[in-house]
Amino acid sequence: MTTLSLPLDDFQKQILQGVFRRVWRMTGFGLMGFVYTWLLCIWVLQLFYHPGFLLGFGILYALVIGLWLGNASRQEEGEEMLFSLPPTRGQIFWVQAALGGLPLLLLNILGVWALRVEAPQFLWGLFVSSGFTEPFPVKDDTLLWPWSVGIPTLLFAGLYGFSAQTINRSGALLALILGAIVTAAITLGGLALENALWEQPRGDLSAALMFASAALILWGCGRRFQQKEGHPGPATAKAGPGGIVAMILVLIVVVFVLMSFFWLSTSDNLHASPLETELISIPAPEPLPSPPSAGE
């Protein structure tokens, strides 16, 4: 009897290709939707003309793709069977992380580059001369340039890594809350560190802290995922009214933090208080005329 055998490298390559196809089947439609939105809003309609738009786009990507990738196997009730197949838990975790995280990182880096060098206006200027070819007034000293890449990357790592450890829907809600809290804490900690080191925060040090934290979170969650056991049956635990209220509160906190970031990113708010700005804008009073002398 002849036994068909493949070299180990080819066998591992086929395993990784199978994991990739499975992840793409689950999230390919959503990933391409975000890619099309990115192309349309930056290069065609030019709706994204400020790094704050890239930040919001990245956060939405992390919320949708990160949570779905981390908890998709449980929602499909196929985690126990998945763990019995040749792919190891580590291969499953890192292929999902790469397929979800690398597009986010690439889209935001290219988006920052396109806005900084005004690439969409240049391309439009090759064919037409209109308002699309005029540069947009974008501040150069804003914190949101590095944060528009660092915050979504950190949030994706937290949401995906934490939700991959869960066994039911209530665990996914806890991963959402924990990921938002960790992202806000590291961001504010990096901002406080920059305020202590420099007169004006630049955002690059805090962004480096975000990338390092994201890598550390993925590494720790990946090691823990290798010890995870598959749970048979559906994920029956559902989020009740308390979970819905908690989700709304998390969204309110995230919106409030983003508004605070945007307020801090303006140079006027970084260098002068509103009272100082108002006093500076008041014109100096004209000198009073000198009184007439006695001889006159």
pLDDT tens column, 161-178: 998 887 766 677 888 888
Residue at 5 is within a domain: no
Q: Give mean pLDDT, residues 117-144.
A: 70
pLDDT reported for residue 81: 60
pLDDT reported for residue 2: 46
pLDDT reported for residue 209: 94
Residue at 151 is within a domain: yes
CA distances from 139 to 71, 104, 112, 261, 293 (A): 39, 24, 13, 14, 56
- In the predicted model, is pLDDT for residue 223 greater than 80? yes
* Maximum Cα interatomic distance, the chain, rounded to a whole number of Å: 133
Residue 17 is encoded by which pair of tokens?
């290709």
Domain count, the chain: 1
Residue at 139 is within a domain: no
Residue at 12 is within a domain: no
Q: Rounded distance, CA 58 to CA 3, Å?
A: 49
Q: Rounded distance, CA 116 to CA 50, Å?
A: 9
- In the predicted model, is pLDDT for residue 34 greater than 90? yes
- Please state at what angle helix 51-61 crosses helix 89-117, rounded to 10 degrees: 160
The pLDDT confidence band at residue 239, using thresholds 50, 70 and 90, is very low
Instruction: Using alpha carbons, select from 136, 263, 165, 280 the residue that is nearest to residue 223.
Output: 165
277's CB contacts (< 8 A; 6+ apart) are 268
Percent of the chain with pLDDT strictly greater than 90 = 24
Residue at 256 is within a domain: yes
Residue at 113 is within a domain: yes
The pLDDT confidence band at residue 109, using thresholds 50, 70 and 90, is very high
pLDDT reported for residue 288: 58
Q: Give mean pLDDT, residues 146-155.
A: 93
Q: Residues 43, 117: contact at Cβ < 8 Å?
A: no
Q: Give mean pLDDT, residues 187-192.
A: 90
284 — phi, psi (to 5°)?
Answer: -70, 140
Residue at 110 is within a domain: yes
Domain of residue 108, residue span: 19-129+144-270
**pTM given for the model:** 0.74
The pLDDT confidence band at residue 5, using thresholds 50, 70 and 90, is very low
- For the chain, give the mean pLDDT: 74
Comparing 29-33, 73-77, 100-104, 110-114, which segment has the lowest mean pLDDT?
73-77
Residue at 112 is within a domain: yes
Phi-psi region for residue 77, left (φ > 0), alpha (ψ -120 to 50) or beta? left
pLDDT per residue over 36-91, tens digit each? 999 999 888 888 888 888 999 999 999 999 988 887 666 555 565 666 666 787 78
